Amino acid sequence: MGSYVIDSELFRDQFSTEFSRRIFSDENTVQKWLDIEAALARVQGRLGIIPAEAATEIERVARVEFLDLASMKREMDRTSHPIVPLLRAIQALCSGNAGEYVHWGATTQDIMDTGTVMQIREVLDGIEEGMKIVLDHVCTLADRHRATVMAGRSHGQQALPITFGFKAAGWAAEIQRSLDRLQQMRPRVLIGQFSGAVGTLAALGDQGDAVQRGLMEELGLNLPVITWHTSRDSIAELMCTLAIAASTLGKMAHEVYSLQKTEFAELEEPFSPGKVGSSTMPHKRNPPACEGIVALARVVRASAGLGIETMLADHERDKIVLQMEREFLGRTCCMVDAAIRKTAAVMRGLTVRPDNMRRNLNIQKGLLMSEPIMFALSGRFGKQEAHEMVYELCMTAFEQGTPLKDALLAHPLIGQQLQPAEIDSMLDPNGYTGMAGVFVDRVLERASVHRTGSLPQAAG
- Annotation marks residue 278 as catalytic: yes
**φ and ψ of 281, to 5 deg:** -120, 95
Burial 189-216 (b: 16+ CB within 10 A, else e): bbbbbbbbbebebeebeebbeebbebbb
CA atoms within 13 A on the CB side of 317: 14
Residues 6+ apart with CB under 8 A from 400: none
Distance (Å, whole) CA 298 – CA 313:
26
Contact present, 357 and 151 (Cβ < 8 Å) = yes
Q: Tell me 365's DSSP state.
A: T
What share of residues in the chain are helix, strand, coil (percent, to 5)? 65, 5, 30
Q: Tell me 401's DSSP state.
A: T
Residue 162, helix vs strand vs coil: strand
CB-based burial of residue 60 (10 Å sphere; 0-12 exposed, 13-18 middle, 19+ buried)?
A: middle
Distance (Å, whole) CA 446 – CA 169:
11
CA separation, residue 218 to residues 35, 44, 170, 297, 385 (Å): 10, 12, 42, 36, 73
CA separation, residue 317 to residues 108, 114, 164, 218, 231 (Å): 11, 15, 52, 25, 10
Q: Identify residue 38 by its one-letter amino acid code.
A: A
Angle at 151 between CA 150 and CA 153, to 5 degrees: 140
Angle at 77 between CA 72 and CA 83, to 5 degrees: 55
Residues 6+ apart with CB under 8 A from 276: 284
Distance (Å, whole) CA 210 – CA 191:
16
Residues 6+ apart with CB under 8 A from 12: 2, 5, 6, 21
Helix 319-348, helix 288-309: angle, nearest 10: 160
Catalytic residue of the set 155, 272, 315, 448: 155
**What sections of 62-107 are H helices per DSSP?**
69-79, 84-93
CA separation, residue 398 to residues 103, 288, 370, 372, 404 (Å): 77, 35, 12, 18, 9
Catalytic residue of the set 71, 95, 278, 454: 278
- Annotation marks residue 8 as catalytic: no
Residues taking part in catalysis: 155, 278
